[in-house]
Amino acid sequence: MSAAAVNTAFEIAFRILSRAHQDSVHLQPQKLHCLLLLAQGCYAARYGGRPLMPAVFVADTRGPIEPNVHAAFSRGCPDLDLDRAAPNEAVESLLEGLWRRFGQLPVAALVDLVKDLPACREAARNGERSEIPLSALARDCCDQRLLGNGMLAGRRVLRTQSGRPVCVAPWQPGRGTSPSARTLPPEG
């Protein structure tokens, strides 16, 4: 296994918490774990299986968790002596993209999305505290619906500047005009 991009999972957790604070979003613990898992999987998918952080995710009844982060944050945000320097550009770009895509989702929706990944379903079938393999997570995160600009039911999905997904179609002049856009009959 190759070296992780950062020293600890806490570095990524604090970057995500900082980003949530910038947007005045209260980040619930389960949402943090889901974002950490997606970051790990998407990084591994983009960089040939290389882990983003030295972390192990396990199945839990509430959704996947990273046990060390879970224990450290169980009584609030821990005071840790970490290198607070910004990670490299690839890591920062990945985290920003994940935040724009998933940061505004309700916790339940994000947990459902993550629990539905095949790697997470398989670990859940194996029982609580079963490890979610990084290779399976990376494979699942290669899915374009998860990583970006995919197709949804045959329609192209783009993001607004706030990160909200919208379905778009090419403009076709003269087609699909609404009743209010039709020409009114001449007066008289």
Contact between 41 and 33 (Cβ < 8 Å): no
The gap between the terminal CA atoms of the chain, to the nearest Å, is 81
Contact between 94 and 64 (Cβ < 8 Å): no
Nearest Cα neighbor of 72 from 154, 147, 17, 142 is 17
pTM for this model (two decimals) = 0.75
pLDDT at 188 over 90: no
pLDDT value at position 144?
Answer: 53
pLDDT digits 0-9 by tens, 34-56: 999 999 999 998 888 999 999 99
pLDDT digits 0-9 by tens, 125-149: 999 999 999 999 998 887 655 655 4
- Per cent of the chain over pLDDT 70 is 74
Q: Which conformational region is residue 125 in: left (phi greater than 0), alpha (psi within -120 to 50 degrees), or beta?
A: alpha
Query: Span 139-164, mean pLDDT?
Result: 58
Question: What's the CA gap between 19 and 22, in Å, rounded?
Answer: 5
Contact between 71 and 48 (Cβ < 8 Å): no
- 114-119: long-range contacts (C-beta < 8 A, 24 or more apart)? 114/34, 114/37, 114/38, 114/63, 114/64, 115/63, 115/64, 117/41, 117/141, 119/41
**DSSP letter (8 states) at residue 43:** H
